[in-house]
Amino acid sequence: MTVVKAVIFDLDGTLIDSNWLHLQSWRGALKTLGLQARDQEVIDKLGLRTSDIAKSLVSSRDERTVVKLVELKKQLFEKAWRVEVKPRHGALRILRIMKARGVKSAVASSNNADRILETVKYFGMNLLLDAIVGFDEVKAGKPDPALVMTAIKKLATIPKESIYVGDSRYDIEAGRAAGTQTALVLQPVAAQSELKVEPDYRLKSLYQLKRIIWPNL
């Protein structure tokens, strides 16, 4: 069995329980602009960059409407996340164990790097992580593997000794394309239907990673 030396995490819906608030924020922004989209349409895009989600929801692809939708959605999420969002079950616990046992960790997310850093600092995760990678550091977002490959490079590890953990099909596709093992965090509000690639593992709690990283412990 391959030794796991690094775990790379998605952020929203993976380390933090925020997908429901993203959905709520998209609902509010769409309603304000007089636009309509089914919840499932939004959910199926969670994991992509905000601008890419907005473009998919604005049928006319009118650039000004897309920009307004992105701004409104970000404003609504910004107002609420510090109060409403919590770390996902087992997140801080597994990060602490990994840090103590010398397993490297990183976040590779469709957020920009500044937002990732702000978020992990708020939840006390920053000192437990070895690297972060935001979409502003790569040329293409998920499901392109660039985010994951950049994280691997920052951690000075190799794909086959790494796991990419995420909650969407875009995460699994990105991890597989990068050559890592993959783990899907199961939850109801996530882009998990019609998986193009099967994950190596399915997790109800991030703490289950302990048995994957140290199977004989």
Instruction: Report mean pLDDT in 10-residue bins for the chain, 217 residues.
Output: 91 97 98 94 95 89 90 97 97 98 97 96 98 96 96 98 97 98 95 91 97 91
* pLDDT on residue 149: 98
H helices present in the chain, as ranges: 19-32, 39-43, 50-57, 63-84, 91-101, 113-122, 146-155, 169-178, 209-213
| pTM beyond 0.75 | yes
> Hey, what amino acid is at 141?
G
Residue 177 sits in which domain range? Answer: 6-17+87-213
Residue 100 and residue 75 share a domain? no
* pLDDT on residue 62: 84
Domain count, the chain: 2
Q: How many CA atoms lie less than 13 Å away from 204 in the CB half-sphere?
A: 0
Last residue of a domain, one of 84, 113, 135: 84
Last residue of a domain, one of 65, 84, 103: 84
Give the domain CATH number at 186.
3.40.50.1000
Residue 199 and residue 149 share a domain? yes
Residue 105 and residue 62 share a domain? no
Specify if 1 maps to a domain. Answer: no
DSSP state of 14: T
Separation of alpha carbons 45 and 188, rounded Å:
14
* pLDDT on residue 193: 86
* pLDDT on residue 59: 75
Last residue of a domain, one of 84, 101, 117: 84
